[in-house]
Amino acid sequence: MMIVMKPSATPEEVQAVIARIESAGAKAHPSAGDEVTVIGAVGDREHIARLELEGHAGVDRVVPILKPYKLASAQLRDRSVFEIGGRRIGGEHFAMIAGPCTVESREQLLTSADAMLEAGATMFRGGAYKPRTSPYAFHGLGDDGLRLLAEAKERTGLPIVTELMDVRDIEPVIEVADVIQIGARNMQNYTLLTEVGRAGVPVLLKRGLSATLDELLNASEYILKEGNEKVMLCERGIRTFETAYRFTLDLTAIPVLKELTHLPIVVDPSHAAGRRALVEPLSLAAAAAGADGIIVEVHPDPDNAVCDGPQQLRVDEFAEYLRKVEQVAAIAGKVLSGVPA
Amino acid sequence: MMIVMKPSATPEEVQAVIARIESAGAKAHPSAGDEVTVIGAVGDREHIARLELEGHAGVDRVVPILKPYKLASAQLRDRSVFEIGGRRIGGEHFAMIAGPCTVESREQLLTSADAMLEAGATMFRGGAYKPRTSPYAFHGLGDDGLRLLAEAKERTGLPIVTELMDVRDIEPVIEVADVIQIGARNMQNYTLLTEVGRAGVPVLLKRGLSATLDELLNASEYILKEGNEKVMLCERGIRTFETAYRFTLDLTAIPVLKELTHLPIVVDPSHAAGRRALVEPLSLAAAAAGADGIIVEVHPDPDNAVCDGPQQLRVDEFAEYLRKVEQVAAIAGKVLSGVPA
Amino acid sequence: MMIVMKPSATPEEVQAVIARIESAGAKAHPSAGDEVTVIGAVGDREHIARLELEGHAGVDRVVPILKPYKLASAQLRDRSVFEIGGRRIGGEHFAMIAGPCTVESREQLLTSADAMLEAGATMFRGGAYKPRTSPYAFHGLGDDGLRLLAEAKERTGLPIVTELMDVRDIEPVIEVADVIQIGARNMQNYTLLTEVGRAGVPVLLKRGLSATLDELLNASEYILKEGNEKVMLCERGIRTFETAYRFTLDLTAIPVLKELTHLPIVVDPSHAAGRRALVEPLSLAAAAAGADGIIVEVHPDPDNAVCDGPQQLRVDEFAEYLRKVEQVAAIAGKVLSGVPA
Amino acid sequence: MMIVMKPSATPEEVQAVIARIESAGAKAHPSAGDEVTVIGAVGDREHIARLELEGHAGVDRVVPILKPYKLASAQLRDRSVFEIGGRRIGGEHFAMIAGPCTVESREQLLTSADAMLEAGATMFRGGAYKPRTSPYAFHGLGDDGLRLLAEAKERTGLPIVTELMDVRDIEPVIEVADVIQIGARNMQNYTLLTEVGRAGVPVLLKRGLSATLDELLNASEYILKEGNEKVMLCERGIRTFETAYRFTLDLTAIPVLKELTHLPIVVDPSHAAGRRALVEPLSLAAAAAGADGIIVEVHPDPDNAVCDGPQQLRVDEFAEYLRKVEQVAAIAGKVLSGVPA
């Protein structure tokens, strides 16, 4: 960490910063220039993290040198590749996670699951618990939804991805889920992150609407720190000033995250776009930018879907969509992940 | 709700939208213009909330006419005024909620509480559980912190404001807290909102970093819907492109929220600013803009604070700060809320 | 346009809005609901544009139904395809516009131009006038730069794309330029837009850092209105809260703009990214999302470039880069535009 | 400037950075830590500004130590206080600049000017040239507007503030204007900045919709560099994700700019808010936060104003508004600036 002092900083203020660094067990390396003094603070990451010098008297800026996360860092290890229900994730493997936004009925779910299996999807998604902005909206089928997901899994063999919102629901969810999804609104729900870390089930962690990449990686660190190494990060659109579409899908995040972390990066074009017509171009763009996978919403009858119908692809158009995504992913050096022979 | 169709919408697409509106139990009022058709949907708020027509085939835009929240709405009732530990909140009453960022020690806490009582603060704040971006940072004293807050309350009579992060901690927290604070990162943690709604204890709900006012009001609706009417909303800075300071305090939100809701509006200048020097000008600005209160961080020795030291006011400068805030609040028509005679 | 009145609007306020609509020569269609009154305003686009009812007493919101631009609108005509120096732009034609950030020297420029010709680029770019945040930075070679661009054009036959910043430089610039570039900072410099509209030379109009798509299309309307139909729009990254990279490239804008306008859409990955390593993934993503072209920076010796070196591709790596972009563009239905046989 | 190398940077990459620094005439001070190497670059501001090391191979981040502007810097001199038409600006002087959005007619303008004089405003504002998002909107009376402003000035003695958009209009504008306003959309129109710098007339420079404070100060540096020292900076709302109001007025910018620069800071609540009801609370907040002045729109008959009617205060309510602003400014240590005795 480097502390840049203000030009107006007094010698006492410089000394106070040095004293604070040393009292935390770190070493201070001051360097006085013509106009300003810069102080390097060298030491253990945890000590440095507690220094809290931002805004201290005489301090202009604090410049972190080391990233605050370590287990998520690209320097820790080579690119993570892991297995989920027999499918390989990460590295050259491209995951297509598809299924309806929410579990509505047995027929809707099993029709979708059968079609995803046949088209060659990697995993099957479906929400039993739905976070909704309004308390008056539909919040999911809950336990009944989980039971239907279990049936879809038994029938198709596809690994199941489903969201956990309430830490008290973790036991029934992990009975069914091969991957626990943590939604964007819960990205900094540290209680939940810690518990899914302890549960040891693979996690798909969505980026918050206005979370920086550093915050996303710090959130993943909460999970990794509990010993759970199977974490996928998911870009799903960020909040910007533009109102012509729901969220701004941040595809620059893909190559940048790949420099920062060894964890696989998945993209959710459905929630970012909010409209079916945008899902294919954004999916192709995500694959072209080097994503390790896509999580997309598909429905047998989107016009009558209970929730987010307009953004769900039609089941009968999915296979063709998947072929195009595969072609682009191939140019980016990836192969669709299916059941190992 | 009004549905603006695209100029290219076919008659079938218009009919499909009408059919969807009517299948939800609402009435459709189409109006065909020279270039586009606009369809009004009239009916029960809950039915309308489930229509999900945004992005439907042929639909250009969906324009909500009614707000999605009702219990939080300014139309429901006159401005809320309620009592917390004998102090009046809302209306012409201005609340000064002050205390350290986090409970560190008995001496630090009681020194602060004594000073706040003497200076005339309305309530006392202090965190026992601290949400932190990094899993390696200090996370609060937990139960020990709650015990010290209970001691401060007994000693000074000041009502206690403290944060709840994990729904499983609600019982010990409400034994001590007169007001439960829900932090910005948990603004859309619906599990937590529902439970504090049920607990019936007054709530200070902080706006998320990138939450719109509509989302903040929807979040408050989760609490109000459980029958808990004592909710204060708190503006604490939003995330923008500017990097010259930590967050951008959104004071326009104050007069706009006052048009939209009857709930009291409190401002947190400390977290927005991140630096002591900015806290006074932002506090005066908040009072001038019509805030119903301020929640501010104060510490007896901020240079040695465990967390957020640089943004905490010094205990011995607090009384003078409070006098200035009172003067500005008076011009905006408010009187500092103290113990009733 | 629809005017949504507040629930608290008085009959007088409703009447005042109606009177204002009618005084502007438009027709008012009020519709009183249970809770609010909505007033439709129907009439000529110019009259409606002058109504200025946003914020009027009793008005909650103003909802535009028609877009404020018309010549740029997708409804005006089929997708624009036009010719620049023998190269076709728009439709199924994919334009690769490449060259150095700034003209530095005869050798640097001609080496680059020769390489671009050989690799098969569609047009050649290079800046003679450079807008810079700091008045102390390098501002381009000016007229000397234009002369070198003219030499490169004569030598290679590649059409030239170069930026115009000052309306007083228009004559020398259009002597050389086949396409005038309007930079992001000048997107709402209406003087400049009107003059390049009158000049009749094709224009590449860059989106401002925080311009909405509606504002971008309105800016293009200033050019189109003067009778100049050859306008390309350019997405070059928007400003968001994220600081891990220079700008956030907004690829969702591509499919959305294609719904709104008939004009070709070009993407600038170099300025968005600010780093060479990100340029290829973002270029592939832009092509996959359906862009009509890319404008990219290339330099024979980027490590010693006068400006923006780190974001410029190396000349000797360009041909391979272009082949990959072509492959992805082909999946999106496009063919690289070269000299017609 | 400090260059933080990546942990993966090779010794060759470190050497290349050092070589680049030294080739620019600056000195390099490398410092190799356990995980990363940090290189200090010390030298002349102009040399450093041209280094362009951001994104260079092996470079993680570039951390500027010195600000890129110098004439605008708070370190250059004490707080600027200057005189405009006999009124003092800056320091303890508070400027109230008021008048209609646009010059519409002789009666409208003179009625407004008389009322502003009587109420005690410091200067009079009015637009003859209006930048508008749509080419079909009203663009001001032009030269006729300037003539009316000249008449208002002669009649009342109030200094005139009016906007310049086109560098070719500078001569007629400075015949009338005591202060040239540069609008937000032109904040980075460097041609215009340089010319108003040369003209020597005081300038009110508005912050761009998404300009950082550093960019605003760099823009002012373009004016100051030409020898024009009378520059006022103006905060007028920034673009954020929030759609409940037109712009987000950034009042944190006031105390932060006061730390960074000696130039006076003015706030425009009218354009930020877009609605009359918000203008008073935001004006009081601006004064409370330490602004050196306010520029506000006032109209004798806002309901029939040609442009921006809903955000203009009524002339007959202005005097009372001004008294409240004065009271709050007094608490912040300021006195309304009027004609010197």
The alpha helices in chain B, defined as continuous H runs, are 11-23, 45-49, 106-119, 143-156, 170-176, 190-199, 213-224, 253-260, 269-273, 276-288, 318-331
Burial tier of A152 (Cβ tally within 10 Å: 0-12, 13-18, 19+): buried
Backbone angles phi, psi at C287, to 5 degrees: -65, -40
Question: Between B and C, how many residue pairs show a Cβ–Cβ distance under 8 A?
Answer: 49
Please tell me which residue, D184 or D45, carries the higher pLDDT value: D184
Chain D positions in Cβ-Cβ contact with residue A42 (cut-off 8 Å): 33-34
Whether C39 contacts C21, CB under 8 Å: yes
Say what the pLDDT of residue C270 is: 94
Residue pLDDT, tens place only, B241-295: 999 999 999 999 999 999 999 999 999 999 999 899 999 999 999 999 999 999 9
Say what the pLDDT of residue B137 is: 82
Whether B121 contacts B322, CB under 8 Å: yes
Q: Using a CB–CB cutoff of 8 Å, tell me whether A74 touches chain C.
A: no
Q: What is the ipTM of this complex?
A: 0.93
Average pLDDT over residues C110-128: 97
Say what the pLDDT of residue B322 is: 98
Band of the pLDDT at A341, cuts 50, 70, 90? low
Please tell me which residue, D187 or D25, carries the higher pLDDT value: D187
Chain C positions in Cβ-Cβ contact with residue D45 (cut-off 8 Å): 136
Say what the pLDDT of residue A340 is: 66
The distance of D243 to chain C (nearest Cα, Å) reads: 11
Interatomic CA distance for residues B53 and B71, integer angstroms: 24
Chain A positions in Cβ-Cβ contact with residue D75 (cut-off 8 Å): 7-8
C127 forms bridges with which residues in the sheet? C102
Q: Is C102 left (phi over 0), alpha (psi -120 to 50) or beta?
A: beta
- Close Cβ partners of B186 (under 8 Å, ≥ 6 residues apart): A188, A189, B131, B165, B192
Say what the pLDDT of residue C124 is: 98
The distance of C33 to chain D (nearest Cα, Å) reads: 23
CATH superfamily, with its number, for domain B82-336: Aldolase class I (3.20.20.70)
- Which of D235, D247, D252 best probes binding to B when mutated, by most B CB atoms within 10 angstroms? D252
- Which of D45, D70, D75, D241 best probes binding to A when mutated, by most A CB atoms within 10 angstroms? D241
Q: Using a CB–CB cutoff of 8 Å, tell me whether B63 touches chain A.
A: no
Say what the pLDDT of residue A30 is: 86
Average pLDDT over residues C329-335: 97
Band of the pLDDT at B340, cuts 50, 70, 90? low
Mean pLDDT across chain C: 93
Of residues D20, D134, D189, nearest to C218 (C-beta): D134
A182 forms bridges with which residues in the sheet? A205
- Answer whether A242 sits within 8 Å of C287, measured CB to CB: no
Mean pLDDT across chain A: 93
Matching fold, domains B2-63 and B82-336: no
Average pLDDT over residues A301-323: 90
Judged against a pLDDT cut of 70, whether residue D341 lies above it is answered with no
Chain A positions in Cβ-Cβ contact with residue C273 (cut-off 8 Å): 252
Mean pLDDT across chain D: 92
Interatomic CA distance for residues A40 and D280, integer angstroms: 47
Of B12, B124, B26, give the one whose Cα is nearest residue B58.
B12
Interatomic CA distance for residues A329 and B78, integer angstroms: 58
Of residues B245, B272, B289, nearest to D284 (C-beta): B289
Mean pLDDT across chain B: 93
Residue pLDDT, tens place only, B128-181: 998 888 888 888 999 999 999 999 999 999 999 999 999 999 999 999 999 999
Identify the closest residue of chain D to B273 by CA–CA distance: D252
Residue pLDDT, tens place only, D311-320: 899 999 999 9
Interatomic CA distance for residues D25 and D37, integer angstroms: 21
Name the 3-class secondary structure at B240.
coil
Identify the closest residue of chain A to D9 by CA–CA distance: A75
Other Cβ atoms closer than 10 A to C274: 18
Q: Which helix (H) or strand (E) holds C19?
A: helix C11-23
Please tell me which residue, C51 or A323, carries the higher pLDDT value: A323
Backbone angles phi, psi at D324, to 5 degrees: -65, -45
Name the 3-class secondary structure at D98.
strand
- Close Cβ partners of A34 (under 8 Å, ≥ 6 residues apart): D42
Average pLDDT over residues A272-291: 96
| CA of residue B244 relative to chain centroid, distance | 24
Q: What tokens appear for D180 in the block?
A: 């040239």
- Answer whether A252 sits within 8 Å of C212, measured CB to CB: no
- Which of A61, A243, A252, A258 best probes binding to C when mutated, by most C CB atoms within 10 angstroms? A252
Chain B positions in Cβ-Cβ contact with residue D272 (cut-off 8 Å): 252
Say what the pLDDT of residue C143 is: 94
Chain B positions in Cβ-Cβ contact with residue A216 (cut-off 8 Å): none
Q: Which helix (H) or strand (E) holds A231?
A: strand A231-235
The percent of residues above 90 in pLDDT, for chain A, comes to: 72
Interatomic CA distance for residues A21 and A39, integer angstroms: 10
Residue pLDDT, tens place only, A147-160: 999 999 999 999 99
Q: Which residue has the tokens 């030409």?
A: D226
Average pLDDT over residues C154-183: 96
Q: Using a CB–CB cutoff of 8 Å, tell me whether D240 touches chain C.
A: no
Domain B2-63 falls under CATH 2.40.50.100: no
The alpha helices in A123-273, defined as continuous H runs, are 143-156, 170-176, 190-199, 213-224, 253-260, 269-273
Interatomic CA distance for residues A196 and A191, integer angstroms: 9
Q: What tokens appear for D91 in the block?
A: 């320091």
Identify the closest residue of chain C to B209 by CA–CA distance: C241
Say what the pLDDT of residue D10 is: 93
- Answer whether B248 sits within 8 Å of D245, measured CB to CB: no
Interatomic CA distance for residues C127 and C99, integer angstroms: 9
Chain D positions in Cβ-Cβ contact with residue C49 (cut-off 8 Å): 134, 136-137
C-alpha angle A317/A323/A326, rounded to 5°? 140
The distance of A198 to chain D (nearest Cα, Å) reads: 30
Among B107-116, C264-273, D159-168, D301-310, name the one with the lowest average pLDDT: D301-310
- Close Cβ partners of D319 (under 8 Å, ≥ 6 residues apart): D118, D119, D120
Q: Using a CB–CB cutoff of 8 Å, tell me whether A198 touches chain B.
A: no
Q: Using a CB–CB cutoff of 8 Å, tell me whether B239 touches chain A.
A: yes
- Which of B209, B242, B249, B252 best probes binding to D when mutated, by most D CB atoms within 10 angstroms? B252
Domain range list for chain A: 2-63, 82-336
Residue pLDDT, tens place only, A243-258: 999 999 999 999 999 9
Residue pLDDT, tens place only, C183-219: 999 999 999 999 999 999 999 999 999 999 999 999 9
Of residues B214, B242, B273, nearest to D250 (C-beta): B242
Band of the pLDDT at C341, cuts 50, 70, 90? low
Of A97, C24, B12, give the one whose Cα is nearest residue D309.
C24
Chain D positions in Cβ-Cβ contact with residue A36 (cut-off 8 Å): 65-66
Per-window interface: B 112-171 vs A, CB < 8 A: 131-138, 165-168
Average pLDDT over residues B36-57: 78
Exposure pattern of C7-25 as b/e (b: 16+ CB <10 Å)?
bebeeebbebbbebbeebe
The distance of A240 to chain D (nearest Cα, Å) reads: 5
